[in-house]
Amino acid sequence: ETGVTQTPRHLVMGMTNKKSLKCEQHLGHNAMYWYKQSAKKPLELMFVYSLEERVENNSVPSRFSPECPNSSHLFLHLHTLQPEDSALYLCASSQDGPSSGANVLTFGAGSRLTVL
């Protein structure tokens, strides 16, 4: 596989469920990101990992918990979500970390989350 792969593509969960989103990049990149995309809103940066260390937590509620076990994999653990958390969650990677001038992000196709 090539590029950035996200699973599952669609997820429906209740507010009391616990689920995880998975992202895998096959590009040899050093930084990975989680973005949230809601209808009619800009992409919102949630978390950034550079060389497996979290370098950004953009005031995200604790019901979202990221995990980056290695430079190729990124997870977003979800628990006790709210209906307003329904959105498209996009994973991305970049060659260099956020402190460099790198601006080219490669995105996955996203995980469409619906919270009932």
Q: Look at the block and give the residue holding tokens 């209740």.
A: 14
Residues 41-100 contacting other proteins, CB under 8 A: 41-43, 45, 48, 56, 90, 94, 96-100
Cα atoms in the 13 Å half-sphere on the side-chain side of 43: 13
Q: How near is the Cβ of 79 to other proteins at its closest, in Å?
A: 26
Question: How do beta strands 111-115 and 10-13 pair?
Answer: parallel
Closest CB to other proteins among residues 21, 90: 90
Report the interface residues with other proteins, using CB under 8 A: 4, 31, 33, 40-43, 45, 48, 56, 90, 94, 96-110
